[in-house]
């Protein structure tokens, strides 16, 4: 029976990074993963993120943005595109090629770092002295390996909607939404979170009539509400997404010509039939096949594996990271936890601050934030100051034809330490990194205000917002 220092269950952004870092630190490391490619005929590393999540969705977003720009924006630049034709199947083919390249890249990294990869579902069998026994089920072919340390990184799965079963034909989850080869005339989306907004945006740009049904009364409740309200205006009034808030779904039925959704909105009964329906109501931890109960691996009241601040479970030398534990369900959070756990096993003392983890929604305009929202600061009674600046007068944004959006800096009223930065606008997924670095180094708004920002760049809006926090904005 093969024995390892570290065995990682799951090869998503948390698991494969944890395995690589453990191997770099000199541990004999293995990673178990059951992911398969789109055709279902070969293993595919990378988890949800690389296969049916972060990466393919960004590929589709970019393709749809190009098509929309050719239709609506090129003429302003003096470019006549003539008659446009859109090939959805070709767009999906490009997306699939990107996924294949990246998942193959993880296999190469495993080989380079001497990480042994096992295909199949990993589950706890028991303990043999100081070693945990892990069963591997490869389509019925079973084997067992042993590990001194186990890192559980099994990720999450879409939260099911009790009213209807996802078949990925007409009722779609994130995977089905990424593989449509024709543009639906009418697309319904249940949930206005990241997946709902991004997939709704893709198919709206390509010609679908999109209705998003959200149970919560507040749009993007986790985001700063000044930014959320600005986003809602862009998405609804300018882009034509029909976003309904405070919706109570009463029934969903699969019909011959689509999916019928009956719901209540502001006391009124509504009845809509969609060609396709995307269910995007969040995700839940993926623990079903771990056999956790057999070894007493503890979970919390929401089904997440219970861990402390170091990602240690209740079992000795068993760790858990990423979507399967508390905290934001973000790929970069999982990766950083994976690195931290590998280093803790090596006796190091890394630190991961949940307060400086950035959030991004890749709509157009993009939305990004880090730290506290203004609503949180008010609720906590924190004395703060704020500065805002818009992209409307930014030379680079105007040149790009993307001069919509705002940057908002929140700082402590007494110490000037930055407490949160919130953005909506072009490429804010990249701009947010400056705010993360600043907050990690406990910077003040004055620190950003006194740093020279290149001109003309989008980052000047961050600079201007920091200046505005001290009431000394130069261009606004």
Annotated binding site for NAD(+): 191-198, 214, 282
Beta strands in 382-432 (DSSP E): 384-390, 406-412, 418-425
Q: Are 150 and 63 in contact (CB under 8 A)?
A: no
Using CA atoms, how far residue 181 sits from 91, 93, 170, in Å, is 8, 10, 12
Tokens representing 201 are 């945006």
Using CA atoms, how far residue 274 sits from 155, 160, 278, 424, in Å, is 31, 19, 10, 30
Q: Is 455 a catalytic residue?
A: yes
CB-based contacts of 78, cutoff 8 Å, min separation 6: none
For 151, phi then psi, to 5°, come to -115, 115
Place of tokens 């989306």: 189
Q: Is the dihedral of CA 217, 222, 224, 229 positive or negative?
A: negative
CB-based contacts of 71, cutoff 8 Å, min separation 6: 81, 84
Q: Are 31 and 115 in contact (CB under 8 A)?
A: yes
Give the β-pairing of 258-265 and 268-274.
antiparallel
Nearest to 106 by CA among 41, 178, 23, 40: 23
CB-based contacts of 218, cutoff 8 Å, min separation 6: 225, 228, 245
Burial class (CB in 10 A: 0-12, 13-18, 19+), 459: buried
Going by the annotation, the residues of the binding site are: 58, 122, 154-156, 191-198, 214, 282, 323, 329-332
Q: What angle do CA 334, 336, 339 make, to 5 degrees?
A: 110
Going by the annotation, the residues of the binding site for FAD are: 58, 122, 154-156, 323, 329-332
Q: Which of 85, 149, 455, 475 is catalytic?
A: 455
Catalytic residues, by residue number, are 455
């Amino acid at each position: 029976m093969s024995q390892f220092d570290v065995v990682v269950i799951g090869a998503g952004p948390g698991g494969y990074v944890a395995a690589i870092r453990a191997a770099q630190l000199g541990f004999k490391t293995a990673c178990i993963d059951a992911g398969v490619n789109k055709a279902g005929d070969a293993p595919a590393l990378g988890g949800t993120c690389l296969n049916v999540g972060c990466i393919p969705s960004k590929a589709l977003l970019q393709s749809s943005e190009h098509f929309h720009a050719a239709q609506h924006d090129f003429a302003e630049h003096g470019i006549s595109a003539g008659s446009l034709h859109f090939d959805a199947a070709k767009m999906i083919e490009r997306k699939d090629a990107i996924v294949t390249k990246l998942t193959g890249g993880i296999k190469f990294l495993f080989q380079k770092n001497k990480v042994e990869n096992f295909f199949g579902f990993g589950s706890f069998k028991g303990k043999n002295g100081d070693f945990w026994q892990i069963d591997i089920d490869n389509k019925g072919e079973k084997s067992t390996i042993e590990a001194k340390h186990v890192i559980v990184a099994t990720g999450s799965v879409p939260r099911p909607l009790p009213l209807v079963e996802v078949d990925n034909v007409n009722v779609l989850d994130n995977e089905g939404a990424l593989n449509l080869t024709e543009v639906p005339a009418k697309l319904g989306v249940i949930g206005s979170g990241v997946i709902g907004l991004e997939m709704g945006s893709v198919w709206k740009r390509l010609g679908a009539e999109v209705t998003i049904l959200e149970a919560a009364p507040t749009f993007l409740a986790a985001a700063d509400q000044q930014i959320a309200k600005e986003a809602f205006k862009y998405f609804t009034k300018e882009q034509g997404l029909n976003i309904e808030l405070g919706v109570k779904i009463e029934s969903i039925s699969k019909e011959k010509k689509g999916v019928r959704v009956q719901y209540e909105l502001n006391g009124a009964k509504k009845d809509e039939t969609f060609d396709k329906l995307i269910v995007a109501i969040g995700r839940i931890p993926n623990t079903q096949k771990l056999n956790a109960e057999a070894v007493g691996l503890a979970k919390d009241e929401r089904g997440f594996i219970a861990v402390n601040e170091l990602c240690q479970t209740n079992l000795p030398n068993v760790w858990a990271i990423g979507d399967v534990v508390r905290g934001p369900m973000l790929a970069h959070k999982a990766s950083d936890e994976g690195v931290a756990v590998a280093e803790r096993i090596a006796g190091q003392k890394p630190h991961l601050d949940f307060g400086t983890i950035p959030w991004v929604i890749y709509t157009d305009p993009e939305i990004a934030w880090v730290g506290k929202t203004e609503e949180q600061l008010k609720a906590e009674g924190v004395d703060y100051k704020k500065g805002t600046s818009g992209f409307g007068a930014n030379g680079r944004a105007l040149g790009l034809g993307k001069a919509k959006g705002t940057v908002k800096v929140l700082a402590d009223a007494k110490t000037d330490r930055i407490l949160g930065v919130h953005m909506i606008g072009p490429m804010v997924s990249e701009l947010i990194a400056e705010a993360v670095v600043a907050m990690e180094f406990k910077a003040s708004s004055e620190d950003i205000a006194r740093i020279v920002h290149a001109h003309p760049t989008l980052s000047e809006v961050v600079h201007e917002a920091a200046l505005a926090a001290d009431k000394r904005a130069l261009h606004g």
